[in-house]
Amino acid sequence: MLKKLTLGLTLLASLALADATITFTPYKTAAQSIGKGKPVMLEVGAESCVNCKEMNAILAPIIAKHPNYKIFDVLLKPPVVNILDPRPQVSIEDQLKVHAIPVQIFYDKSGKEIYRHTGILTADQLKTAFKKFGF
């Protein structure tokens, strides 16, 4: 009976993780965690990007399973032009030097960028990266 209950709970947990969704984090909020004593990963993409959606589907169960990991999904948005403020606005793409999406940027606990990948990382590649970078 206990074995069946354990198996049932494991199945329910797996289904819950499969249904996990990504919450986008504003870059300003995510940037506040960089260099604060824990490694950080930024997943940079756009809502209209098919590969970004696939990357989010890979990341969602990992984030749900490891809520202590500092993983942030940063959403790129079209630039907003403010005619009342003529100063040029620096976009997130420029700040992060993003030329294609999706891109994953890993920072060490001191805030130094230690790895950058453009495209989709598999769950196994992410697991290896998290282990290598001390998550």
Q: Is 7 domain-assigned?
A: no
Q: How many domains does the chain have?
A: 1
Which range of residues forms the domain containing residue 78? 17-126
Tokens describing residue 132: 């290598």
Mean pLDDT score of the chain, rounded to an integer?
A: 83
Q: Is 67 domain-assigned?
A: yes
Q: Is 10 domain-assigned?
A: no
| pLDDT at residue number 97 | 92
Q: Is 102 domain-assigned?
A: yes
Tell me the whole-structure pTM to 2 decimals: 0.77
Q: Is 33 domain-assigned?
A: yes
**Position 20 confidence tier, pLDDT thresholds 50, 70, 90:** low
Q: Is 5 domain-assigned?
A: no
The CATH number given to whatever domain includes residue 52 is 3.40.30.10
The predicted-structure confidence for 67-115, as pLDDT tens digits, reads as follows 999 999 998 876 555 667 666 666 788 889 999 999 999 999 999 999 9
